[in-house]
A and B are shown apart, each in its own frame.
Chain A
Amino acid sequence: EAGVAQSPRYKIIEKRQSVAFWCNPISGHATLYWYQQILGQGPKLLIQFQNNGVVDDSQLPKDRFSAERLKGVDSTLKIQPAKLEDSAVYLCASSTPRGGEKLFFGSGTQLSVL
C-alpha cells in the first residue's frame, strides 16, 4: 500500500516569510498528525485531526501556525510568519481509529529558516 506522502521534501525561506507543507495520508486513515522535530530531539506533536476535526492542538503555536484538513483527507500546515526557531523537520503521520497508536509516518519536510 502507498505510504504517507509529504511535499516538499526540502524548503528554505527567510525569516518572516510564509511557508506551507502538504500531507496525503494513507487511504482510509481517519486520524492525521503533524509533528515538529528539531535537530537532536524527538518529534513533538503539533496537531491531531480525527477526520476533519481537531482533536488536540495544545502544542501548536497558534499565533503563527495553522493547519487544516478539508474533506478529511489531505492536510496542509502553514507557518506565517516564520522565525529562525521554526527550522525543523515537519512530519505527517496517519493511523486508523482501530489501529491504536500504530502511526505511519511520512519522510517529512525539512525546513530551514535563514
Chain B
Amino acid sequence: DAKTTQPPSMDCAEGRAANLPCNHSTISGNEYVYWYRQIHSQGPQYIIHGLKNNETNEMASLIITEDRKSSTLILPHATLRDTAVYYCIPKGWGKLQFGAGTQVVVTP
C-alpha cells in the first residue's frame, strides 16, 4: 500500500473553504484515494473517494492530480462541526490503513 504525507495540523476560518493536501507519490494504479474524518470521541466517518477523476458529494470535493501522486480534499464552506482529524488513505486490495491524519481546527 502507498505511503501518505499529510500536514499534521491546519486552521481554517468558519465559512471559508478548507483545502487539505495529501501526498501519495507511491500510489499504484489499482489504488483508490479514500478520505475519512474523525470528530473527537467518535469513530471515523467516510467522506469521499476517487480513482483518477475529480469527485464531489454533499460533504466535499476531491481533486486528484493527473499523475495521481497527490490529492486535495476541499470542504467548500467550513463550519465549526468540521473540526476533526482528516485521513487520506490510498487503498487497493489490502486493508484500510489509517495514518496520523491532519488535525483541522475551524475557528469562528
Q: Interface of A with B (CB < 8 Å)?
A: 4, 35, 40-45, 48, 56, 91, 93, 100-108
Query: Please, which residue of chain A has its CB at the minimum distance from the CB of B100?
Result: A42
The range of chain B's interface size is: 20 to 34
Given A45-B97, A100-B49, A107-B41, 6 more pairs with CB closer than 8 A: A42-B97, A91-B44, A101-B89, A103-B44, A103-B46, A105-B44
Given A107-B43, A108-B43, check contact A101 B34 (CB 8 Å): yes
B47: shortest Cβ distance to chain A, in Å? 10
Q: Interface of B with A (CB < 8 Å)?
A: 32, 34, 36, 41-46, 49, 85, 87, 89, 91, 95-101
| Interface contact B43-A91, CB-CB below 8 Å | yes
| Interface contact B95-A45, CB-CB below 8 Å | yes
B4: shortest Cβ distance to chain A, in Å? 10
Residues of B contacting A42 with CB < 8 Å? Answer: 85, 87, 97-101
A49: shortest Cβ distance to chain B, in Å? 13
* Distance A15 CA – B96 CA, assembled complex (angstroms): 30
